[in-house]
Structure 1
Amino acid sequence: MSVITDTSFADAVRALLRRPLLDRSSPAWSAIVTNRTALIEYFEENCGWTLHVDIRLGLARLHKRCAPDATRPLNRVGDKPNNPMRPDGYAVLMLTAADLVTRPVTTIGSLADNLAAASLTDPTLPPFDTGVAAHRRQLVDAIAWFVTHNLLEVTAGNLDDYQDRTGDAVLVADPTRFGRLLSSSTPPSRLQSDDDWIAALAHEPRYDAVTEGRADAEAENRYARHTIGRQLLDDPALLTDDLDEIQARYLTQGGGFAALRRAVGRAGLELEANSDCMVAVDETTESTDRTFGRSADTVTQVAVAIIDLLCPNRVGTTAAIADVTELVAMLLAEDPGWAVAYQNDGGARRLTDRALQLLAGFGLVRFDDNNNPTDVTATPVAGRFVTTVNDCRHDTAPTNEENKL
């Protein structure tokens, strides 16, 4: 089936980029079904991603593949921005999914008991105790995430009642949809017990010839097209310094850059490129569930102030994290009624750390050492977010000299 309209196709691409698991309740469902053949070809050609559209089940799943990135954690469900799930929460999320696949109709209480039993028998799992409020919250967070993505339905009871230990709730899962969650070239059942199973699940054999240095020109071009397309469509920006030799050659020879611009344009995005970076700009913000600078929360406000510090004249520089912390401490001291949660000992450092992690998640800063950083550097794209102050105090029309500026 051909693309009915360019707008319809672009709407479907952006919807799948934002939420790679969609059903018929999505406003974009009709566009996805109409353009499904072209969408499957588009994502395979430009990103090496597989798209499944099951009209009977009313389900579309885009299997994104990307490198692990600790700066972009899974956010807990809720209205609060920049609220990442704790590391133990991921284990609870996975254990919950595994239990629901085998027992799709259950209660939270029964599910919690199974998680507690699993944590006692497997020393590699974090502890889970139904008597600990934080552990119950992790389970509620996991269930809420599955409910939000239409994988699970609460048919009776209330999640908050379980959190408060005042009640229970009945859960009904869709095993077919859970089965579509995992994106891997290797089924888990084929992994050996001594494998690094995360690396094994993430491995993509189709690029082995490239990484092993035995690929022909066609395989190299496919690798470059896919990896660059993934970064531009799914990441905030692509820095030219991060390009490997094969990727750089693809963009400068044989029409690679022109093909990239066409692919970005078909998604309804605009490609901005200079010598330092490339950005796929989405004026609609429909392709992402996270935007920088549009929230008025404390962490975002401080992050913007840090960009102003690191980007004098919109040019990125390097600063010691200790100096950044001093700036944040000064902001806190200037207004004791602001950011009350951080108006205590160590508050400036905690707020600095959260703001820097937010910036790193959007590719706006990088650290000298990811494990124990002491310096932070603004990336070339950070200059886009420098604060601009317009002086509107002129009471008279600008002079001819001013008009020349």
Structure 2
Amino acid sequence: MLRQQIHSVEDDPELFGLAAAHQREVAAWFDHTVGWRFEVYRSEGLCRLYKRRADPPSDRGPVVRRKSGEVPASPLVLVLASLICEQLWRSTQATFNDLQRAVVQACGTEAELGRLPRFRPVADAGEKQATAGAHRRAFIDALLLLESWRVIASDVALDQLEQDQGLDLVITARRERLALLTASVAPSLLDIDIDRPDTHAAALCADQQDLPEDAPVKAQERRRRHLAMRAVLDDPGVVPDPATEAGKYLSSYTGRERALNAAAAAGLVCTVRRDWWSVSDPNGRSTDLTFPAGRSLEQHGALLLLDAIVGRNEPMDWFGIEWASSQLRRELAERPWWARRYQGPGGERSLAEAGIQQLLSAGIVSADPPPGSGWRPTPAVHLWQVRVSHATSAAKAATLSGVTDGRESLDD
């Protein structure tokens, strides 16, 4: 449930049966440990973990499962998924083209006010085809995301929309499951400013806000426990800073033992230092993160950057995109047979950005405000050693080996 919060009986009948049989125990564990709600909807064949945080991580989101592989859903994809649900709530069946036109119309007026993104999947005269293609791809991704949650179905595989621009198909939604996608009270029922999206997460998670100073001791203890456990179960790393509520809880003997037990129950492994908790998932059951075990060029680039970061005189110093690009520019120049798609102009910067995103997801670096201006390594860098084996011929790519605390390795 930590990896994918929505499970249907169609995906895994055995898992759904276990969730239904042990609903009370599972719900009690999540409620006590992290303050999240777990529900099983037997009539709809759906179970869901309502995983809410007042401080949602901005670098994570649902994963879209394309035929070519998995990609994180972009903000545009998430907005389009919501708009698609709105249209299908009105009419549970529509063709792809009709649904796309309805979303274009919905975005038309609101985009002028800055409340919705511009969405133009069909290029008009004088407009770039690349932008229209990207918008169409995002719309298909939104449909794939909803399909993976078993909320919609189509009479033809959605992946075929990528190859056939003229293809039209029928999409059918299950209204009861659409209703279950709502994770909180409708924003229209809350006292929020629609033009200030930065305040919405706090309003939707009002139960997680700071308690008054005269709140009961048990309530304060429960809040600290929930904050700490959410960080341990949901983040790749945690700073046990006693000045913070979560850090204060993890710094205590009781809090540390409870957090370690909760992580073990969830199948996670914690490496604890005085200044850092590193949380990993050896079995990959609770996260989509594959670093460092992935074999992509982007993960190789991340390991090369990690090697450069650790090799500096001051590994914890801030760095910017220019420094990261220069490190990979040298690697690309020395190995012209490696990472061919990044060998062109500006390729080193694109690879650096992708590699840094991998390091961000793994908790090895953190964004240094303002976002995108630079990054600062976390204490997690002290748990890593990277060995780069140079290829003996131009026909072989470099072999990268990443070792985490002497226990995890990657050989490619």
Q: Is the 8 A contact 1:157 1:168 kept in 2?
A: no
Paired residue type of 1:47: V
Query: For 1:280 and 1:294, how far apart are their aligned partners in 2?
Result: 15
Aligned pair in 2 of structure 1 residues 119, 205: CA closer, same or farther (>3 Å)? closer
Aligned residue in 2 for 1:90: 78
Paired residue type of 1:71: D
2:117 counterpart (105, 123, 126): 126
Cα offset, 1:149, TM superposition:
1.9
Greater CA drift, 143-152 or 127-136: 127-136
Aligned pair in 2 of structure 1 residues 125, 22: CA closer, same or farther (>3 Å)? same
Paired residue type of 1:354: A
Identity %: 25
Paired residue type of 2:206: P
Aligned pair in 2 of structure 1 residues 313, 351: CA closer, same or farther (>3 Å)? closer
Paired residue type of 1:140: I
Aligned residue in 2 for 1:235: 235
Aligned residue in 2 for 1:363: 363
Aligned residue in 1 for 2:150: 150
Cα offset, 1:75, TM superposition:
3.9
Aligned pair in 2 of structure 1 residues 49, 157: CA closer, same or farther (>3 Å)? closer
Aligned pair in 2 of structure 1 residues 172, 149: CA closer, same or farther (>3 Å)? same
- 2:31 equivalent to 1:44: yes
Query: For 1:347 and 1:156, how far apart are their aligned partners in 2?
Result: 37
Cα offset, 1:284, TM superposition:
1.6
Greater CA drift, 306-315 or 364-373: 306-315
Aligned pair in 2 of structure 1 residues 313, 216: CA closer, same or farther (>3 Å)? farther
Cα offset, 1:351, TM superposition:
1.2
SS at match of 2:386: coil
Paired residue type of 2:92: P
Aligned pair in 2 of structure 1 residues 245, 323: CA closer, same or farther (>3 Å)? closer
The alignment's TM-score, normalised by the length of structure 2, stands at 0.81
Q: Is the 8 A contact 2:239 2:247 kept in 1?
A: no
Cα shift readout 1:70-108 (whole Å, capped 9, x = no counterpart): 222444432656844444333222211211222211111
Q: Is the 8 A contact 1:154 1:170 kept in 2?
A: yes
Cα shift readout 1:127-156 (whole Å, capped 9, x = no counterpart): 223423332222111101111221111124
The correspondence of residues 103-252 of structure 1 with structure 2, limited to 5 A, is: 103-122=91-110, 123=112, 124-131=115-122, 132-156=132-156, 158-161=158-161, 164-184=164-184, 186-192=185-191, 194-195=193-194, 196=196, 199-203=199-203, 204-210=205-211, 212-241=212-241, 244-252=243-251
Gaps of 5+ in 2: 123-131, 390-412
Aligned pair in 2 of structure 1 residues 268, 129: CA closer, same or farther (>3 Å)? closer
Cα offset, 1:218, TM superposition:
1.2
Query: For 1:219 and 1:193, how far apart are their aligned partners in 2?
Result: 26
Aligned pair in 2 of structure 1 residues 248, 193: CA closer, same or farther (>3 Å)? closer
Gaps of 5+ in 1: 1-15, 391-405
Q: Is the 8 A contact 1:314 1:384 kept in 2?
A: no
Q: Is the 8 A contact 2:315 2:377 kept in 1?
A: yes
Cα offset, 1:224, TM superposition:
1.1
Query: For 2:79 and 2:229, how far apart are their aligned partners in 1?
Result: 31
Query: For 1:56 and 1:72, how far apart are their aligned partners in 2?
Result: 31
Paired residue type of 1:155: D
Q: Is the 8 A contact 1:92 1:142 kept in 2?
A: yes
Aligned pair in 2 of structure 1 residues 340, 83: CA closer, same or farther (>3 Å)? farther
SS at match of 1:341: helix
Q: Is the 8 A contact 1:311 1:378 kept in 2?
A: no
Aligned pair in 2 of structure 1 residues 178, 78: CA closer, same or farther (>3 Å)? same
- 2:294 equivalent to 1:289: no
Aligned pair in 2 of structure 1 residues 69, 80: CA closer, same or farther (>3 Å)? farther
SS at match of 2:2: helix
Q: Is the 8 A contact 2:237 2:276 kept in 1?
A: yes
Q: Is the 8 A contact 1:325 1:348 kept in 2?
A: yes
Cα offset, 1:163, TM superposition:
6.3
Cα offset, 1:356, TM superposition:
0.8
Aligned residue in 2 for 1:17: 2
Which protein, 1 or 2, shows the higher relative CO under an 8 Å CA cutoff with sep ≥ 6?
1
The correspondence of residues 35-74 of structure 1 with structure 2, limited to 5 A, is: 35-66=22-53, 67-74=55-62
Paired residue type of 2:170: V
SS at match of 1:231: helix
Aligned pair in 2 of structure 1 residues 193, 316: CA closer, same or farther (>3 Å)? closer
- 2:246 equivalent to 1:255: no
